[in-house]
Amino acid sequence: MNQAVWAVCFALFAVGLSLLILRRELLVMLLGLELMVNAANIGVVYGASLTGDAAGLSAALLIIAVAAAEAVIGLSLILRVYQSGRSPESDVLRELRG
Amino acid sequence: MSAAAVGGLLAPQMVLAAGLLGVLGAGMAAFSPKFIKSLMILAILGAFALAFGAHPGAGDALVGLDGLGFSWQLVFYAAALPLAFLMVAESEVAPALVLGSLLGLGILAVSANLLMLFIGLELMSLPAYLLVARSRGGAKTSVEAAIKYFFAGGAAGGLFLLGLALYYFTQKTMSFAGPGGFGAEAGIALMGSAALFKIGAFPLHFWLPDVYEASDPELTGFLSTALKAGGVLLLMRLAALSPAGAFSRALPWFGAATMIFGAVLALKQERLQRLLAYSSMAHAGNIILGVGAWAALGASPAAAVAVFFYLAAYLFMNNGAFSFLKATGAKTRADLHGLGARNPKAAAAFAVLLLALGGVPPTAGFLAKLLIFWAAFKAHLYIPLLLAALGALLALGYYLALLKDLYFEDAPAQAPALEPGRGLAVLWTCAVPAAVLGVAPWVLTYMSRLLAL
Amino acid sequence: MIFSPLTILWALPIVGGFLALALRSGKRAGVFSIALSLISLAFCALLPWREGAALAVTGPAWAYGIHYALSMDGLSWVMCLLNAFLTVIALVSSLGEERSAGYWAAFLFLEGALMGVFLASDLFLFYVFWEVVLIPMFFIIGLWGSANRKHAAVKFFLFTFFGSVLMLLGILALVTLRHRATGVWSWDMQGLQGVATGPAAWAIFAALTVGFGVKVPIVPLHTWLPDAHTEAPAAGSIMLAGVMLKMGVYGFLRIAIPIFPHLSWRLLPWLAAIAAINIIYGAFCALAQSDLKRLVAYSSIAHLGFCLVGVFSRTVEGLAGGTLQLINHGLTTGALFLMVGILYERSHKRGIRDFGALFGQAPWLTFFFSFSIMASIGLPGLNGFVGEFMSLAGAARVLPILAVAGVAGVTLAAAYALPAYQLVFWGDRGPSSVSSHVTDLTVREQALLWVLCLGMLYIGLHPSGLLSVITPATKGLAL
Amino acid sequence: MTAVLPLSAILIFAAPISAVLISFFLVRPFKPRWTHWPILISCAVVAVSAVRIAMRVYTTGPLDVTLAQWMVAGSWSLSFGLRLDGLSSAVLAMVAVVGALIHVYAAGYMEEDECMPRFFLFFHLFYLAMIGLLTSNNYVQLYLFWEMVGMASYYLIGFWYHKATARRAAMQAFLVNRVGDFGFMLAALLLLSAFPGSGARFTAVFPAVAKAPPALVCAIGYLLFWAATAKSAQFPLYFWLPDAMEGPTPVSALMHAATMVTAGIFLMARSWPLIAGVPHLPHLIAWVGAATALGAGIVAATKTDLKRILAYSTVSHLGIMALGVGLGEIGAGIFHLITHGFFKAVLFLCAGNIAHGLGKPTATVDEAGGLIKKMPLTFVCFTVAAFSLAGIWPFAGFYSKDAVLDAAHAFGPGMGLVASAIGFMSAFYIFRMLFLVFLGPRPRQEGGEHGGHHIHEAGLWMGIPVLLISIGAVCVGWFGGQLQSLLSMGWMAAAAPTVPHMKVLEAWPSLALAFAGAAASYWWTTIKPNWDWDWREKSPALAAVFASDFGWKPAMAWVAQAVVALSNWLGLSLDKGSWDRLIEASAEGAVEAGGAGAALATGSVNDYVWWMAAGVAVLLLAVLFL
């Protein structure tokens, strides 16, 4: 059971991270980010459920809230990119480098 | 402990929260931006005063204040002041964001629990993304930098959470007192990667030069001192979970790699903010080395003087340097040419700061480096120590190059028009302590007393 | 307490430096600075120090055993005196050109910092002063130097900083090891003997040697010196060669050897080899130079080699002679740099072959130059010989081969110095000669050179005055 | 201490020092043409004092006092002192008298030179240095004056600094002497370590020689000889001396006759108690002296420049003195030193008068010829000195030179053969010079008749000193016995030196050789008046061999070039070109690395996250394996 849950958790996390690394579309990358957070949250929830720790479960709720806030900020930034007339892709945003 | 006592611990945070609400409210009530800014400054000053008068105590399961948190809180609020004074606030948004970020830092300082650390981390970071995006009037590059900051920071947050989950699963608790073991080590390493990201350790630093370059100078000062100090506190909390663990033992090497990489990369930069960004990496490397040495020596709060002093000195030096950029409007190294003659006062202050950043006695930067080296020596970290010495030499290379630009190069025939802003007062306020703290070692006695509270 | 004469000795020039800056006008600042440097010279000369560190200051403990602690013995006193004296010379020699207030202030800062180096008896304080010295010199070279000054200034600072960082690591190690051995945090220079043993001692001694060696400079850590000397203004070169190079040897005398009396003795063959290479290599390099300033700079490397020979020989006469040679080199090379500076000021050239037949129109310049050259190549009766001879006498007693190398260096000195002298002051005026721009010395310049040259003659014939001050301070190091 | 000093001992220093100071500071700025007066007065005082000192030592014995501390460090010390014994007072008397007369000559010779004040100051310094050298009571003080002699000679040889040859000669003289001084200084240093506490004083060193480490004593002996080969122009370091003719004639006269070159011989005589005990060294000195004497004698016979002939003759005679010293005949060596001082001074001053008479700075035999009628006084003086040099009875040279050559004959057949050749060559070259200059003129000679110049005798200033010294060149040889008793005063070795008394009839082989030399030179200069020019044209290769001093000069030039090449390689190629370049390149390399490293920051946030993942992977690996 442990292994199965953690395998799912890590797999989802890895998928999220891969999206972040491999995909250029900012929205997809945001998706990957959310995937990472939620994959980790699975671990928290599973840990809390094993011991019935209410603190752990409330932590999971808090994390979901934080993730939501993060998503809002991410979306607003992506919107800014749209508004500046650029396509929301990481390839475009390479003015700063070196 | 009673709720009232916990509330007493949280007084600075409450002032900040109240200030945040007040700023938002004043904004909706269409008060003048000037008033809003003053409100923000007042809130920060109040938080600083309360933090200074706080009595450290154990608190409850989630919050508590020890010497480390106490001292760092002072750094956080003090480091926000240059930004607060210099920022251009046309509405309530920017002040609110600053206060929000500071609140996150304040929470970080009093966290006695990994979850609280996470909340503090996110709360200090999220407003920062927006502040970066709003820099330079929301210029394209600023948005680009914010996007990078956001995605990289988000990934770091994800890593922290994964580490938290691992830690929680194996330790059955989110407090700092777990039984330890492999799961804990792995969790610490994952969480620690988020801290290293915040400090800008190689190779988790690539966001840093872009962000520092695209932000307003005063914001970069804030990011590189206050937020970096937050990252350092996070790092120390995590390293203290297992002072002899693999993560702690890896830190000196990360520190050495970071400072060498940062110093080398800074050598050929032409744009000043990017140069100072890489230079701040070099300083971060020293700090990480200091944290590694601190952990190796047992991670007792009272022994953290080296790191604390470094941060305190760096607060003055870097904020001063960025307020110089603000005050003179210089953007590239060529802009500095002949400034020594054209603007002798600002140039003199900047020269002092550069020497301090370079670690030349009698400045504060010297004593800061000395303490780090010393700690590393005491912890038998000889090879990282030698690398640090090399890093100090490399770092001096670009600071001297800037001094050379400032004084030895003649201004070009048609000097590019600079857009000087305010900041001379802040510049000198930073330069004087940076100049003399190095020969004021009694400050250290005071600091170690604070840390031992 | 803190406000003792010793504090005044270093603080007076530094405060004076700030005041000079505040005066703004270069003319006023110049007069003020010269007056102040004269006062500090008089003050230093009249200091009632006595043997056995009768003059010492120990302030309150700061943190980690760092104290504000100064002390003065014969060695410190002669070095301080040299510093104060050459500052006067350097400042007065600068009167000929329009200089800003910053120029004068920089020299006063330099003087104060150098005083601190020679007075400090706390390692922390010592290191702070040691490094602070670099800052005014960096600006002196970079702001008021000649064509390639920018590069030279940065190179100077970085190169010497490299050595200093290693030295700092060595000092840290010593302090930490003392804490491990005794449980006491202290940065006092005294009582560090024996705290480091085995490989640690070797490593620390090596670090200190590199740290001091860069300043001396020892070959192969010397390449900053020709550039710095060449590019610095004349007064800067005087201070650089006259006082700053002495910091390295002073460091050996004050720190490295007292702390490692046995190790440094066991390493004698290696240290001696360094010193011998300095002498021979410096002389050969000087022989190859076509720029007067570079030539004098390389000759400094050779001369400092003699100091090292004497100091490393660890005999009473060698130590005293090596230390005396520090003073001698200050006077002689100071005079030479002063005159090369005068030539440069008048003709804006430094190449040996740019000149010729100056004798006819500048007889006084020729007179003083030949006098100084003779002192520099160790003509007996003048100062250079006394220092060299005593150093080598020490060497001959412990390691005769070292004396052979040293005497070979004396021989070579003539080979590099005289041809240069001849080409500039004798001979024909070549087609590209700028000699016609060179006028003879002014009264002010003559006065300076008389003082320097009479000093050379005095030390050459009656060195026992200075030696009786130096010997008690150094003989404790003799084996 | 000073109370025991006789007035004359004080005056030999006080007079020249005050004369130089007065001339430099008081007379020169106001009346430059009078600069020489204080100096001439000083010369008179010194000459009288020196003679008085010699008489005093002769009657009451030596004087050795330590006057003042010089260098002191703890128990290690060196001092200034004065030693007036037989050896020093004898040489001092000759130096003081001959030197003083040359000063008078110079007053005439330099009359029209605008740099006359400078000349006299250095000239007198030269004189003072030699006096100090002779009267030192320890090696280090002796070294002081030894170097001072070199310094003064440098400025005097290069006096006409606008002449390239003068500059070159001055430099060569100084540098070669420095090479020799290498030996002296090292010897002094080793002395101080071999004889601790001696302060390098002769009276402390010599009695302790037997007890000192033999290896060190041996090294000291050889090093002192090395020093002497430079100062006294012995092979291999002799070659600076002939070139040193570039200075004004009085300088050459002073340098060759009274000061400088005799210093090396004096040093060896002074150090004899030490040198005598060093294995093989005396014989080495003798052989080097003999080889130098013969070689220089041969070369002297091929030179055409008058002063050059005399210069090689000096080298040759210094060889004879060294030969005497090396054979243990210190008395004979010093005796020859003294007589040589007189007759060589006359020869040089005559050569100066001839050049002056011809209206030239220097003269060659091509320009002279047949001067006997126009310069009769000079002819007489020159002839007297030439007879003396050739060792013809009863002139001074006979007594001293033949004493040395006699000792050489006694040493062995090989040395005897060389000595015979030396005797023959001496006579040959000096009579060749005499005949070529004063007889004739020959077809190839101008006889001074160029451009309608009127040849004349020099004035009184230049004539009278020559006459006076000529008297010495005749008579000094008669006082060998007195010299012997004088030398034994304060002699520090076991056996007092002897001055062999030469009897004319017993010395017939040497005399015969001298006459043979004179006759040969008459044959090849006067009977066959063109021979001297013809052989050069017929066999240029041979001429080149002589011109290059049997190849030694090019060899030395090669050594000098090698030193310069080495220094260029070290100082320019290695130091600047390689090592400093490497250091600078390391700094530039770091900057370039910064430029290259910047490429890692691609600007793409995907890459940034990739790097983060890599960092985390490293951390996790550390957890796994650390």
For A44-97, what is each residue's pLDDT tens digit?
999 898 888 888 899 999 999 999 999 999 999 999 999 888 888 888 888 888
Report residue B307 as tokens. 């790191």
Report residue B116 as tokens. 């609280």
Q: Give the pLDDT band (50/70/90) at residue C164.
A: very high
Q: Which helix (H) or strand (E) holds A5?
A: helix A2-22
Report residue D195 as tokens. 């004889």
Beta strands C55-61; C67-72: pairing state: antiparallel
Q: Least CB-CB distance to C316: which of D74, D583, D587?
A: D74
Q: Does chain A touch chain B (at least 3 C-beta pairs within 8 Å)?
A: yes
Report residue A52 as tokens. 């019935």
A98 and D CB contact within 8 Å: yes
Report residue B146 as tokens. 């914010």
The alpha-helical segments, DSSP class H, found in B297-408 are: 305-328, 333-336, 339-342, 344-358, 364-378, 382-403
A90 and D CB contact within 8 Å: yes
Interface list for D 44-73 with C (CB within 8 A)? 69-73
Contact D612 B210 (CB under 8 A): no
Which residues of D fall within a CB distance of 8 Å from C393? 76, 189, 192-193
Q: Name the burial class of residue C183, with classes exposed (0-12), middle (13-18) and buried (19+) by CB atoms within 10 angstroms of its CB.
A: exposed
Q: What is the model's pLDDT at position B122? A: 95
What single-letter amino acid sits at C435?
S
CA-CA distances (angstroms) from residue B104 to B76, B98, D60? 10, 10, 107
User: Could you tell me if D348 and D449 lie in one domain?
Assistant: yes
Asked if B276 and B321 count as a contact pair (C-beta separation under 8 A), the reply is yes
Residue A71: phi and psi, rounded to 5, are: -60, -40
**pLDDT tens digits, residue range D193-228?**
999 988 999 999 999 998 999 999 999 999 999 999
Task: Give me the total of CB pairs closer than 8 Å, taking one residue from chain A and one from chain D.
Answer: 33
To test the contact with chain B by mutation, choose from D583, D602, D623 the residue with the greatest count of B C-beta atoms within 10 A, namely D623
Report residue C413 as tokens. 């000195």
> How far apart, in whole angstroms, are the C-alpha atoms of residue D367 and residue D525?
15
Interface list for D 585-604 with B (CB within 8 A)? 587, 590-595, 597-598, 600-601, 603
Q: Least CB-CB distance to A96: which of B141, B150, B155?
A: B141
B189 and D CB contact within 8 Å: yes
Which residues of B fall within a CB distance of 8 Å from A98? 274
Contact D598 A94 (CB under 8 A): no
Interface list for D 519-558 with B (CB within 8 A)? none
To test the contact with chain D by mutation, choose from A90, A92, A93, A95 the residue with the greatest count of D C-beta atoms within 10 A, namely A90
User: Could you tell me if D416 and D545 lie in one domain?
Assistant: no
D193 domain residue, yes or no: no
pLDDT of residue D258 exceeding 80, the answer is no
Q: Give the pLDDT band (50/70/90) at residue D1.
A: very low
Which residues of B fall within a CB distance of 8 Å from A73? 126, 129-130, 150
> How far apart, in whole angstroms, are the C-alpha atoms of residue D74 and residue D444?
70
Asked if B344 and B328 count as a contact pair (C-beta separation under 8 A), the reply is no
**pLDDT tens digits, residue range C444-458?**
999 999 999 999 999
User: Could you tell me if D497 and D545 lie in one domain?
Assistant: no
Please report where in the chains the tokens 């009839």 appear, as a residue. Answer: D505
**pLDDT tens digits, residue range C395-421?**
999 999 999 999 999 999 999 999 999
The alpha-helical segments, DSSP class H, found in B134-174 are: 135-138, 140-171
D430 domain residue, yes or no: yes
The chains found to touch A (3+ Cβ pairs under 8 angstroms) are: B, D
Q: What is the model's pLDDT at position C94? A: 93
- Chain A residue with minimal CA distance to D600? A98
CA distance D555 to chain C (A): 18
Which residues of B fall within a CB distance of 8 Å from A97? 210
3-state helix, strand, coil in chain C (%, to 5): 75, 5, 20
Which residues of C fall within a CB distance of 8 Å from D567? 284-285, 287-288, 416
What single-letter amino acid sits at B420?
P
Reference A60, options A76, A46, A77; nearest CA is A46
- Chain A residue with minimal CA distance to D594? A98
D386 domain residue, yes or no: yes
CA distance C315 to chain D (A): 10
Task: Give all domains of chain A, ordered by start, each with its CATH number.
Answer: 2-83 (1.10.287.3510)
The domain in which residue D477 lies consists of 280-290+303-538
Report residue B377 as tokens. 């020596």
Q: What is the model's pLDDT at position D450? A: 59
D478 domain residue, yes or no: yes
3-class DSSP state of D149: helix
Asked if B72 and B233 count as a contact pair (C-beta separation under 8 A), the reply is yes
Chain D interface residues facing chain A, Cβ-Cβ under 8 Å? 598-599, 601-606, 609-610, 613
Q: Does chain A touch chain C (at least 3 C-beta pairs within 8 Å)?
A: no
A4 and D CB contact within 8 Å: no
What single-letter amino acid sits at B436?
V
User: Residue C212: which region, alpha, beta or left (left: phi > 0; alpha: psi -120 to 50)?
Assistant: alpha
Contact B126 A70 (CB under 8 A): yes
pLDDT 10s digit of each residue in chain B, 453 long? 566 677 788 999 999 999 999 999 999 999 999 999 999 999 999 999 999 988 888 778 888 898 999 999 999 999 999 999 999 888 889 999 999 999 999 999 999 999 999 999 999 999 999 999 999 988 899 999 999 999 999 999 999 999 999 999 998 888 888 888 888 999 999 999 999 999 999 999 999 999 999 999 999 999 999 999 999 999 999 999 999 989 999 999 999 999 999 999 999 999 999 999 999 999 999 999 999 999 999 988 877 999 999 999 999 999 999 999 999 888 999 999 988 888 888 999 999 999 999 999 899 999 999 999 999 999 999 999 999 999 999 999 999 999 999 999 988 776 666 667 778 889 999 999 999 888 887 888 888 888 887
CA distance B70 to chain A (A): 25
Cis peptide before C220 (omega within 30 of 0): yes
CA-CA distances (angstroms) from residue C475 to B101, B189, C479, D115, D517? 65, 59, 9, 49, 65
CA distance D161 to chain C (A): 5
So what's the ipTM on this one? 0.92
Q: Which helix (H) or strand (E) holds C57?
A: strand C55-61
CA distance C325 to chain D (A): 13
Handedness of CA B408, B412, B413, B419 (dihedral sign): negative
In angstroms, how far is CA C243 from the centroid of its own chain?
A: 3
Asked if C167 and C208 count as a contact pair (C-beta separation under 8 A), the reply is yes
- Chain D residue with minimal CA distance to C461? D70
- Chain D residue with minimal CA distance to B250? D622
> How far apart, in whole angstroms, are the C-alpha atoms of residue D476 and residue B385?
83
User: Could you tell me if D495 and D460 lie in one domain?
Assistant: yes
Which residues of D fall within a CB distance of 8 Å from B266? 594
> How far apart, in whole angstroms, are the C-alpha atoms of residue C321 and residue C326?
9
The residue extents of the domains of chain C are 267-479
Domain count, chain D: 2
Q: Least CB-CB distance to B154: which of A33, A56, A95?
A: A33
Handedness of CA D109, D111, D114, D119 (dihedral sign): positive
To test the contact with chain A by mutation, choose from B113, B115, B207 the residue with the greatest count of A C-beta atoms within 10 A, namely B115
User: Could you tell me if D476 and D546 lie in one domain?
Assistant: no
Interface list for B 389-428 with D (CB within 8 A)? 394, 397
Report residue B391 as tokens. 């890093």
B362 and C CB contact within 8 Å: yes
3-class DSSP state of D364: strand
Reference C109, options D626, B362, A96, B438; nearest CA is B362
D584 and B CB contact within 8 Å: no
The chains found to touch C (3+ Cβ pairs under 8 angstroms) are: B, D
Contact D609 A17 (CB under 8 A): yes
3-state helix, strand, coil in chain A (%, to 5): 80, 0, 20
A14 and B CB contact within 8 Å: no
Q: What is the model's pLDDT at position D2? A: 45
Residue C61: phi and psi, rounded to 5, are: -70, 135
CA distance B136 to chain A (A): 14
3-class DSSP state of D83: strand
Contact A97 D606 (CB under 8 A): no
Number of Cβ atoms within 10 Å of the Cβ of D522: 17
Mean pLDDT score across all residues of chain B: 92
D336 domain residue, yes or no: yes
